[in-house]
């Protein structure tokens, strides 16, 4: 069974103890819980520990409200976050969810099973969002590659000079492929089989004058 590593950021020792006991008593899942009482301590633990999910109180001694969530999200974008707030701050918790938190818990309205479900939901939803983003990025890369290929095919049909063809292909890769720089090299017939730059486009910044490729 995979261990779910929880960072609990809560300055109230009673609430922190209750959550620890609830997770131990009501779940078949294996939890490992570390605890931070301040935002500063949480930042240190995020940097040093391998955390699966983060449970975050929005009211801490060194940070209050939505800013607490935003700071944690900024330093831990790859970790799902479940926020906690008092009953009178439910609107604030909902704002955090709209801003990227995976779920929220209202103090005084929870039980062990609810916390466990919330944690599993947060992890699964975060993984789904990551998968969707990767699929979207892959689709965008594929569409970009098709645009480049189409432009190069058009160029091949109308090209009349080799140097012009090489120059324009580099320009297509930069303008339509999204690359900062593109270059084409031709292998020489010397003993080292040196590759000599023949065309380039984009931000070269002296690179081709120093690079040695064979």
Domain boundary among 117, 133, 149: 133
For residues 94 and 198, state if they share a domain.
no
For residues 128 and 32, state if they share a domain.
yes
pTM: 0.64
User: Is-contact 108 87, C-beta < 8 A?
Assistant: yes
pLDDT of residue 27: 60
pLDDT of residue 87: 65
Rounded CA separation 208/83 (Å) = 51
The answer to the question of residue 150 being in a domain is no
The answer to the question of residue 151 being in a domain is no
Contacting residues for 152 by C-beta, under 8 A, at least 6 apart: 169, 172
pLDDT of residue 26: 66
Structural domain boundaries, residue 72: 3-133
The answer to the question of residue 32 being in a domain is yes
Domain boundary among 133, 151, 178: 133
pLDDT of residue 73: 92
- Show pLDDT as tens, one digit a residue, over the chain (214 residues): 678 999 999 999 988 888 888 887 666 678 899 999 999 999 999 999 999 999 999 889 999 888 999 999 999 988 999 998 876 677 887 888 888 889 888 887 777 788 888 888 889 888 888 888 888 888 888 888 888 988 888 888 888 899 999 999 999 999 998 899 999 999 998 888 899 999 999 998 888 888 888 8
């Amino acid at each position: 069974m995979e261990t779910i590593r929880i960072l609990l950021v809560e300055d109230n020792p009673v609430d922190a103890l209750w959550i620890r006991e609830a997770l131990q008593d009501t779940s078949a899942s294996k939890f490992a819980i570390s605890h931070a009482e301040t935002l500063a301590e949480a930042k240190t633990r995020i940097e040093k520990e391998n955390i699966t999910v983060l449970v975050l109180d929005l009211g801490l001694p060194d940070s209050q409200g939505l800013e607490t969530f935003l700071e944690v999200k900024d330093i831990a974008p790859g970790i799902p976050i479940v926020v906690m707030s008092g009953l009178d701050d439910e609107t604030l918790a909902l704002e955090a969810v709209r801003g990227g938190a995976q779920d929220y818990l209202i103090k005084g309205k929870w039980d062990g099973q609810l916390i466990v479900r919330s944690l599993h939901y947060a992890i699964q939803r975060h993984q789904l969002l990551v998968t969707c983003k990767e699929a979207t990025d892959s689709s965008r890369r594929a569409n970009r590659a098709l645009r480049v290929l189409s432009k190069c095919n058009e160029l091949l049909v109308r090209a009349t000079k080799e140097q012009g063809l090489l120059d324009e292909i580099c320009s297509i890769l930069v303008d339509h492929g999204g690359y900062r720089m593109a270059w084409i090299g031709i292998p020489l017939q010397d003993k080292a089989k040196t590759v000599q730059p023949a065309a380039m486009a984009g931000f070269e910044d002296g690179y081709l004058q120093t690079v040695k490729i064979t």
